[in-house]
Amino acid sequence: MPLSTIRRELKSHIEPAYKTCSLGFFKEPVKLYGVRAPIVKKIAKNYFKLLKDLPKKNIYKISEQLLASNYNEEASIAFDWAFRLRVDYTKAEFKTFEKWIKTYVTNWGMCDDLCTHALGYLISKFPELIPQIKKWVKSKNRWVRRASAVSLIVSVRGKKCLDDVLKAADLLLMDQDNMVQKGYGWMLKEASNVFPTEVFEFVMKRKNKMPRTALRYAIEKFPESKRKILLAK
């Protein structure tokens, strides 16, 4: 399938004002067409109909060609297609998604999209893969480190893997990158929705050394009375 057709359709839906607004959500340079998310989703859905009978490896290959452009909208389509294949996931998918994280993900939008859908679902389905993502905490790539936390969100929303979530937070606790801090703080916030007591106790023991950015994200869903306790120095 010629990718030029997809790109032509994306370009037909560009909104300059929306593009300008979207760029404001990123501190790093990003490539955007300026197409609204529901339209991108619709384009992804329509073109997947033409691909769905191909072998998975072929769909991933085409997806990777989209990722290589580094446009956020093209990445969204690639990740959407990968997520649509989730019923047929095996552990072998991990190598593909790990390559994508390390090679093509260049901003928080891409990172969170992949981690809270395709990769997150894979980890939830095969929790024995968690030791592999735990290795990412030492990466020099900020998005890989962020992914080591955010990819656990799907699991913890399903009331699974709390111990792994807390271990990941401990390993990333003193990371100096604010995007990593926001990532593991978000992970803890999601965990607090289903394991409030455990997360409160975890944060309480570390509140004086946890970066304030991570701390504020982590405690966002707690009642005000508990937030005051956790924010007190």
Q: Which of 21, 56, 88 is the last residue of a domain?
A: 88
CA dihedral 178, 181, 187, 189 (to 10 degrees): -90
pLDDT at 233: 80
Q: Number of folded domains in the chain?
A: 2
Locus of tokens 């990819």:
151
pTM, 2 dp: 0.95
C-alpha separations of 32 from 15, 26, 48, 74 in Å: 11, 11, 21, 9
What is the C-alpha to C-alpha distance for residues 228 and 178, in angstroms, rounded to an integer?
22
Report which of 121, 126, 101, 109 is spatially closest to residue 37, judged by C-alpha positions. Answer: 109
pLDDT at 2: 76
Locus of tokens 């998310």:
37
State whether 96 and 84 are in the same domain: no
pLDDT at 204: 97
State whether 104 and 160 are in the same domain: yes
Q: Which of 88, 117, 147 is the last residue of a domain?
A: 88
What CATH number should be reported for the domain holding residue 173? 1.25.10.90
What is the C-alpha to C-alpha distance for residues 148 and 146, in angstroms, rounded to an integer?
5
State whether 122 and 232 are in the same domain: yes
Containing structural domain, residue 24:
1-88
State whether 131 and 71 are in the same domain: no
Phi and psi at 152, nearest 5°, equal -95, -5
Is 31 in a helix, a strand, or coil? strand
| Tens of pLDDT, residue by residue, the chain (233 residues) | 679 999 999 999 999 999 999 999 999 999 999 999 999 999 999 999 999 999 999 999 999 999 999 999 999 999 999 999 999 999 999 999 999 999 999 999 999 999 999 999 999 999 999 999 999 999 999 999 999 999 999 999 999 999 999 999 999 999 999 999 999 999 999 999 999 999 999 999 999 999 999 999 999 999 999 999 999 98
State whether 82 and 140 are in the same domain: no
Q: Is the dihedral of CA 189, 190, 194, 195 positive or negative?
A: negative
> Residues 194, 157: contact at Cβ < 8 Å?
yes
State whether 95 and 78 are in the same domain: no
> Residues 63, 81: contact at Cβ < 8 Å?
yes
State whether 84 and 103 are in the same domain: no
State whether 81 and 96 are in the same domain: no
> Residues 65, 51: contact at Cβ < 8 Å?
no
pLDDT at 1: 65
Strand ranges inside 49-203, DSSP E: none
3-state SS string for 72-98 = HHHHHHHHHHHHHCHHHCCCCHHHHHH
State whether 35 and 111 are in the same domain: no
State whether 97 and 74 are in the same domain: no
User: Distance between the two ends of the chain, CA-based, in angstroms?
Assistant: 58
pLDDT at 132: 98
